Amino acid sequence: MAEPRFLVVRNDEEQYSIWSAERELPAGWHDAGFAGTREECLAHVDTVWTDMRPRSVREASQ
Amino acid sequence: MTDILSSRAVRGEPLPWPDATIADLVVAQAARTPDAVAVRQWDDRLTYAELLSLAAGVAAALRARGVGRQTRVGVCGARRPELVATVLGVLLAGGCYVPLEPGGPRRRLRGIAADAGVSLVVGDAAEAEFGGAPGVEAVGLPGPGVLVPCPARPGDPAYVLFTSGSTGRPKGVLTSHRNVVEFVTGVVALTGADAGVRSLGIASLGFDAATMDLFVPLLLGGSVQLLGAEDRADPVRLARFIAAHEVNWGFITPTVLSMLDPAELPGWRTVLCGGEAVPAALAARWAPGRRFLNGYGPTETTVLAVSGPLSASESDPMPIGRPLPNHRAYVVDVALDPVPPGETGELLIGGPGLADGYLGRPGLTAERFVPDPFSGLPGERLYRTGDLVRHDPDGRIVYLGRTDRQVKIRGQRIELGEVEAVLADLPGVTGVAVEAVPGPAGAELVAFLTPEDAPDDDRLRSYAGSRLTTAMLPARVLRRTALPVSPISGKLDRPALRALAAAHTVAPADTAAPDARGGSLAAAVAGIWTRLLGAAPGPATDFLAAGGNSIAAMRLVAALRAELGRQVDTREVFTARTFGRLAERVADAPVGDDGLSTGNPPTLSPPQRRLWFVDQLAPSSAPYNIAVAHRLRGPLDIAALGAALRTVAERHDVLRWRIPQTAGVPYAVCAEPTDVAVPVVDLTTSAEPEAELARMLTAGAAHPFDLATGPPWQVTVYRLGPTEHVLAATWHHAVFDGWSERVCYDDLAAAYAQAVAGRSPALPELPARYADYAVWRAERDRLRGGPDLTWWTGHLGGAPTVLDLPRDRPRPAVQTYAGAEAAVRLSAGTDRAVRELAERRGTTVAAVLLAAFGELIARLTGGDDHVLGAIVADRRLAAFDDVIGFFIDTVPVRVRTGGASFAELVDRCAGELHEATAHPGAPLERIIEALGVGRDTARAPLVQVLFNVLNFAPPRLTLSGLTAEPVPVPKPGSPFDITVYVVQHAGRTGVEVVYNPDLFDAARIDDLLADLAELVGALAAAPDTPAREVATALPRPTVRVPQLGAMTVAGGEPAGPPPGLVPAGPDGLTETEELIAGIWREVLERDRVGVTDNFFDIGGHSLALAAVHARLTAATGRSIPMLDLFRHPTVRALAASLDGAADRPELARAALRAAARRSRTRRIPPRRPGGTA
């Protein structure tokens, strides 16, 4: 049986997480355009989430 | 989905919090209370102004080095008040602190600094730990500086805490100011903390509980009681610190809490316990009488996420409570779907406490912080705790264990994988597995290594010691040719490993007393070591290699103190390391347990002296007798009983004390043991044996003991038939108390059993005697007396010193000690309501009744401020558990009513009862003296109404071959106007009173009790209504309205001073006046006394009065009642009385009236001018 599929997701604070591809996305979360196994998704997050500060904090710092 | 979960259970109350940084809020608080103490460690104190000034200096030094918003700065300092300033300085500069604790493994410390990207480390230990580290600048403490506003915003990170990581690498949790401020707001609401909070500063800075220790008080205007490293590591020192610093609020792990004695720390009113599972037995010990809460929360959710009160009646597995304000909690399965209520699942937490994530670990953050599909709040996350829980039907969450392999070792979260990863890198190791198993000092790690000749303990320690914290070091290492594999999954068989580890725990050896183990001190130390560490030591056995850790060291030290009386410090256990060297240290250690010395000659304690004095005043009354009687059915062996009683008196020498005096100073001597006479009164021929018995029991209970010459106790047997007797005993309170009753019965039973078996009865020697208590107590009073007395005079400032309840007869001019009894039982409904309220307020039934009694009194007197007495059993040392004697202190309790709801009154009374026990260094006599309370022969000073909350379960007497059944004996007298006892009979609360029938009629007291029972029921049913508005018809007029003319002092009626009767002027002294004045000058050490000065106004007190009495008696050769000195408290009045009082009764009356006026009008002056009365 194939491994469960996950999506990389992102909220408006530009915080990343992963979510089951089978389930409806919770409110306020968006598909970040990457799907794969759990491990693949987490590895992808490691490459794209380069500034971990929430967007509101990041913007207030500039 | 979510609708199957009750919304109350999953969401905490909404609660707004300030949108500000921690630094902003501390600065604002400091502006309000600049001179309040912010941090204290013994004599080192920082006021808010000083704290801020030091922090400003740190901030300036950091800003000069480029620190600004979001810059991470290491903090490395000793646990001194300056550490708090260092932390605050980093925050003030806008930075984010990274705790780097000095003294840990240096490689791990520097590894964390590197992972955190820290290039600057500040603190008084920074140079020592980081001096010379590449890429890191160490900054010492620069001293005070000028405050510059904090540039950070609430969303900026405040600290990064590193916790054990599953990949073998610690992970840093990023926590923001907002997280902290929201958390503090929630925990303040949860615990009711206020500006009076004195927090327990015990958590290490790297443990997020430190957030609570520091910022709860600092955001409220309270103070942090910061423990130094040594006080933190030793249970005896820790208890002493908590008591001396009057800690009243604090978080602690159950492991450390279990080593403290709740009875020693009554002032610690709010105890938050957590960090690991709280055992039900611990809650049962600590919950009664205080607010005891569980605290649960991963670092990732900022200190606490779930919390709630725990009662004494919880059972394992323990509930951890409900979500904190603004927090959400869900229980889900592996697919993150909610499980039905009551089923086990993983706990997910949401809310503003959620950290931003793990520093530099986006993938890991995404794995643990997941989208929230339940709340409907857009873009919210939930933290996966990895903890298995379930919802109980009452909505509380119950903790059941971990989903992964994180374990708690001494409160620290350890990932077993991290330990395995380090050990696997050790050359010569081919396979490794680490498991946690229960050990003698809590959970401990056991490592399994392959091959069988894997590196030995020494090599392993020298390798891993610099890479793992002490908690992460395996307690034991087992070497194997191979590790067990599960035949089903093919994976490592962890259950088999745990079984193997448990099998290799050496069974605890015989825990027989040290003496039984060969007698030598080393053997005794070995016995304790074996019991605590699980294996017998050899001279070279290493403490750490044997599984010892800081907790085991604390227990070892406590046992050495308690069992061998040796004062050893935990530090010495670690410096000695081997058993042989430790045994040598123990042999050289000073003997004595917290100043307890043994073998002291008979010595009176202050409460004994007070009773002796009352005895001198009223030698023929016996208000302080304790009398009991038992009906014995079966064959009673009188000779065996006599032998058994002699054995009891041999063991408890206080029963053989005599209290004579010389020059008015009482002292104790001990008589040799002699046979105890057991008079047998034959009632078998009496026409009315039961009536005769009752009469004789009453008379026996009132037997006036002569403390100077005779035994202070007596026993009588009443014979009612060949196999029916009543055994009656009476003791003077000066050598006995309620607790002594059980000791006496146990010893009597043991000795009697031996005697009837034909043996010569013998009881083991006591570890300490009453005289040792008196000496121990004198030392405590010497050390604590000053501060405790200051506390009392401050606490009682402005309180009235007289409480006059409406009565039926004028108060006799000289206090009588007549006694009568009455009782009431609460209705089942009231009893339930009272218990529920007590439980809700985290206090005792007695506190609820005291609050109701206080309200009743307020309605009777029209005043809102009264002083009652309470009693405290001063049996704080285990060595006195089996000692008969008088260990009771009467303490004033101030009850302030008015305007408050009943719930508030209950809280106040609970606080009062606890505070009263927390200041034992100043006995009542000294408090009265320091307050300058005027003496008055008509009433007991300061305390006229006693509220007795000591609730010993009535002990049972069992004599072999006999059945024993208690026979009620009337109380011999009433030392106070009224004494109220809160009692429990057959599971129902009742109130019994002993009152003085010379003041009150029985009908009034019966009505008063009925009204009290009704009032407490009404108040408990409406705890949030202002108490004064509840059941306003109570008390009824027969209780409220005094008899006409009764509120006077008998014999004191003629108004105004009798003019011309008192010859004035110092020149006209009579011979008697000269004599008395001379004695006064000598005893009071004054150069002059006026003939009309009141003895008690110019420094006289009870024991000085006794000295005057003795000298006057000697000088005149006359027998003068001591009471006369009380009645005539001036030189002139006393001289007139001695020269023929019958001719001059006006003088005596004038003095009495003056005393009565003083008592009526006097309030204790407030300590500070302008203070509230």
- Three-state SS across B636-701? CCHHHHHHHHHHHHHHCHHHHEECCEECCEECCEECCCCCCCCCEEECCCCCCHHHHHHHHHHHHH
Digit-coded pLDDT (tens) for B86-99: 999 999 999 999 99
**Choice between B1060 and B457, residue whose per-residue pLDDT is larger:** B457
Looking at the structure, tell me whether residues B1013 and B1128 fall in a common domain: no
Looking at the structure, tell me whether residues B395 and B427 fall in a common domain: no
Residue B246 C-alpha from the chain's centroid: 10
In a domain, A48, yes or no: yes
pTM tops 0.90, yes or no: no
Looking at the structure, tell me whether residues B466 and B391 fall in a common domain: no
Are B1021 and B840 contacting, i.e. CB atoms less than 8 angstroms apart? no
Looking at the structure, tell me whether residues B826 and B729 fall in a common domain: no
In a domain, A31, yes or no: yes
**Choice between B258 and B965, residue whose per-residue pLDDT is larger:** B965
Looking at the structure, tell me whether residues B519 and B453 fall in a common domain: no
Q: How many domains does chain A have?
A: 1
In a domain, A17, yes or no: yes
Q: How many domains does chain B have?
A: 7
Q: What is the dihedral of CA B42, B44, B47, B50, to 10 degrees?
A: -160
Which of B171, B334, B380, B383 should be substituted to probe chain A, the one whose Cβ sees the most A Cβ atoms within 10 Å?
Answer: B380
pLDDT higher than 50, residue B472: yes
CATH code of the domain covering residue B544: 1.10.1200.10
- Mean local confidence (pLDDT), B40-64: 96
Looking at the structure, tell me whether residues B519 and B477 fall in a common domain: no
- Mean local confidence (pLDDT), B461-477: 83
- Residue in A25, A27, A54 closest to B376 by CB: A27
pLDDT at B518: 36
Angle between helices B81-92 and B48-64 (to 10 degrees): 50
| Residue of chain A with shortest Cα separation from B362 | A46
**How many whole angstroms separate alpha carbon B221 and alpha carbon B223?**
7
**How many whole angstroms separate alpha carbon B834 and alpha carbon B851?**
11
Digit-coded pLDDT (tens) for B952-1000: 567 889 899 999 999 989 888 888 999 999 887 777 889 999 999 999 9
In a domain, A51, yes or no: yes
| Residue of chain B with shortest Cα separation from A26 | B373
Q: Which two tokens stand for residue B210?
A: 């430190």
pLDDT higher than 70, residue B786: yes
- Mean local confidence (pLDDT), B26-32: 96
Q: Which two tokens stand for residue B1100?
A: 């006289």
Contacts of A7 in chain B (CB under 8 A): none
**How many whole angstroms separate alpha carbon B130 and alpha carbon B114?**
12
Query: Going along B986-1100, which residue ranges are E strands?
Result: 988-995
Query: Going along B852-962, which residue ranges are E strands?
Result: 865-873, 888-896, 945-948
Distance from CA of B200 to the nearest CA of A (A): 33
Give chain B's contact residues with A (Cβ, < 8 Å).
Answer: 69-70, 153, 155-156, 174, 176, 335-336, 356-357, 359-360, 362-367, 369-373, 376-381
Do B363 and A8 count as a contact with CB atoms less than 8 A apart? no
- Mean local confidence (pLDDT), B26-48: 96
Contacts of B378 in chain A (CB under 8 A): 11-12, 27-28
Confidence of residue B279 (pLDDT cuts 50, 70, 90): confident
For A47, other C-beta atoms within 10 Å of its C-beta total 10
Structural domain that includes position A50: 6-60
Q: Specify the pairing of strand B625-633 against strand B963-966.
A: antiparallel
Contacts of A59 in chain B (CB under 8 A): none
Q: What is the 3-state secondary structure (H, E, C) of B831-854?
A: HHHHHHHHHHCCCCHHHHHHHHHH
Do B362 and A11 count as a contact with CB atoms less than 8 A apart? no
Confidence of residue B344 (pLDDT cuts 50, 70, 90): confident
- Among B250-254, B312-316, B400-404, the range scoring the smallest mean pLDDT is B400-404
pLDDT at B950: 64
pLDDT higher than 60, residue B1134: yes
Do A41 and B366 count as a contact with CB atoms less than 8 A apart? yes
Do A26 and B371 count as a contact with CB atoms less than 8 A apart? yes
In a domain, A35, yes or no: yes
For B468, other C-beta atoms within 10 Å of its C-beta total 22
Helix/strand/coil for B631: strand
Among B463, B480, B503, identify where a domain stops: B503
Are B352 and B340 contacting, i.e. CB atoms less than 8 angstroms apart? no
Q: Which two tokens stand for residue B541?
A: 């056995």
Do A28 and B378 count as a contact with CB atoms less than 8 A apart? yes
**How many whole angstroms separate alpha carbon B561 and alpha carbon B261?**
15
Do B380 and A28 count as a contact with CB atoms less than 8 A apart? yes
In a domain, A43, yes or no: yes
Distance from CA of A42 to the nearest CA of B (A): 5
Among B524, B555, B588, identify where a domain stops: B588
% of chain B residues with pLDDT over 70: 89
- Mean local confidence (pLDDT), B694-707: 92
Q: Which two tokens stand for residue B401?
A: 């264990």
Q: Which two tokens stand for residue B1082?
A: 């000598």
Looking at the structure, tell me whether residues B327 and B256 fall in a common domain: yes
Q: What is the dihedral of CA B545, B549, B555, B561, to 10 degrees?
A: 70
What are the C-alpha distances in Å from B54 to residues B85, B213, B596?
Answer: 6, 19, 42
- Residue in A9, A12, A46 closest to B363 by CB: A46
**How many whole angstroms separate alpha carbon B102 and alpha carbon B1171?**
46
Q: Specify the pairing of strand B137-139 against strand B198-201.
A: unpaired
The mean pLDDT value of chain B amounts to 85
What are the C-alpha distances in Å from B172 to residues A46, B674, B740, B1067?
Answer: 16, 74, 57, 87
Write out the DSSP string of B765-816: PPSS-HHHHHHHHHHHHHHHHHHHHHHHHHHTTT-BS------SSPBPSS--
**Choice between B103 and B172, residue whose per-residue pLDDT is larger:** B172
DSSP annotation of B593:
B
In a domain, A1, yes or no: no
DSSP annotation of B343:
S
CATH code of the domain covering residue B497: 3.30.300.30
- Mean local confidence (pLDDT), B791-803: 91
pLDDT higher than 50, residue B359: yes
Closest CA to B557 of B541, B540, B574, B545: B574
Tokens 């218990």 — which residue? B835
| Residue of chain A with shortest Cα separation from B154 | A57
CATH code of the domain covering residue A49: 3.90.820.10
Tokens 């006794």 — which residue? B1106
Element (H, E) at B281: helix B280-286
Do B379 and A13 count as a contact with CB atoms less than 8 A apart? yes
pLDDT at B514: 34
| Residue of chain A with shortest Cα separation from B374 | A26
pLDDT higher than 70, residue B508: no
- Residue in B156, B174, B369 closest to A17 by CB: B369
| Residue of chain A with shortest Cα separation from B383 | A17
Tokens 């590894």 — which residue? B111
pLDDT higher than 70, residue B927: yes
**How many whole angstroms separate alpha carbon A9 and alpha carbon B527?**
61
The length of chain B in residues reads 1173
Are B393 and B383 contacting, i.e. CB atoms less than 8 angstroms apart? no
- Residue in A19, A42, A53 closest to B371 by CB: A19
Q: To 5 degrees, how large is the angle CA B688–CA B689–CA B694? A: 105
Are B422 and B168 contacting, i.e. CB atoms less than 8 angstroms apart? yes
**How many whole angstroms separate alpha carbon B1035 and alpha carbon B1014?**
9
CATH code of the domain covering residue B197: 3.40.50.12780
| Predicted confidence pLDDT, tens digits, chain A (62 residues) | 567 899 999 999 999 999 999 999 999 999 999 999 999 999 999 999 999 999 999 888 76
Question: Counting beta carbons within 10 angstroms of the beta carbon of residue A21, is it exposed (0 to 12), middle (13 to 18) or buried (19 or more)?
Answer: middle
In a domain, B913, yes or no: yes
Structural domain that includes position B925: 799-877+884-954+972-1040
Among B750, B768, B786, identify where a domain stops: B768
pLDDT higher than 80, residue B1144: no
Closest CA to B950 of B697, B740, B728: B740
Looking at the structure, tell me whether residues B728 and B838 fall in a common domain: no
Number of continuous H segments (helices) and E segments (strands) in chain A: 2, 3
Q: Which of B13-22, B315-324, B592-601 has the highest mean pLDDT?
A: B13-22
- Cα-only R_g, chain A: 13
Looking at the structure, tell me whether residues B834 and B930 fall in a common domain: yes
Looking at the structure, tell me whether residues B196 and B113 fall in a common domain: no
Inter-chain contacts counted by CB atoms under 8 A, chains A and B: 86
Closest CA to B390 of B331, B434, B448: B331
- Residue in B155, B335, B367 closest to A42 by CB: B367
In a domain, B684, yes or no: yes
pLDDT at B178: 97
Q: Specify the pairing of strand B44-47 against strand B37-41.
A: antiparallel
* Bond before A4 cis per omega within 30 degrees: no
pLDDT at B276: 76
- Residue in B365, B372, B373 closest to A52 by CB: B365
Helix/strand/coil for B1110: helix
Looking at the structure, tell me whether residues B382 and B463 fall in a common domain: no
% of chain B residues with pLDDT over 90: 46
Query: Going along B49-191, which residue ranges are E strands?
Result: 72-75, 96-99, 120-122, 137-139, 157-163, 171-176
In a domain, B789, yes or no: no
pLDDT at B1142: 42
- Mean local confidence (pLDDT), B886-914: 90
pLDDT at B9: 47
Looking at the structure, tell me whether residues B193 and B121 fall in a common domain: no
